[in-house]
Amino acid sequence: MRITAGSMRGRTMRVPDIEGLRPTSSRAREALFNILGDIDGLSVLDLFAGSGVIGLEALSRGAKTLTSIEADRVACQAMKLIQESWRIEPWTIHCGSLPKALPEGQHFDFIYADPPYAKGLAEQVPGWLEKRSISYDRLVIEESSQSRPQWKTLMPVQQRKYSETTLYFFEPHTKNNI
């Protein structure tokens, strides 16, 4: 995988060979950050972080802090190796399962969630955040384009399809949310 923009542009990272790990494509990442616009100085929470590439893209593009949560120990170790070798200080990596590993009562400017596809986890993310009193300005959930998530507490303000991936964009307290 290669970082596509910002201060770390062009850096390559090894992605561990883990069943089910599918890093977000460079096309979808570039589109995501083009839609988000300026993220300079933002705090980012990356759920189901996997390879860590979304969070690294955010840091590369100016995010102030990154918190990544991933359940797979091999993936966590791979992210920690990148953190050490690239000397990335504003990156906190939590190895644990969701929702148990979520912090309590924090605010993040941007939250990205990329759960395993078609397992019903994408639909649960907004509720998990609410139960943990985690506030945010923007939430993006990645899911398979084959799935049809049934959102219970929020409705996406937009969705974008990139081949096998659909990105759902949420903003709290908008007229489109339930």
Helix/strand/coil (H, E, C) string of 59-73?
Answer: HHCCCCEEEEEECCH
pLDDT at res. 112? 98
Short-list 88, 93, 109, 91, CA closest to 40: 109
Give the chain's domains with CATH numbers: 28-170 (3.40.50.150)
pLDDT at res. 138? 96
pLDDT at res. 18? 81
Which stretches of the chain score pLDDT less than 70? 173-178
Average pLDDT value for the chain: 92
Predicted TM-score of the model (pTM) = 0.93
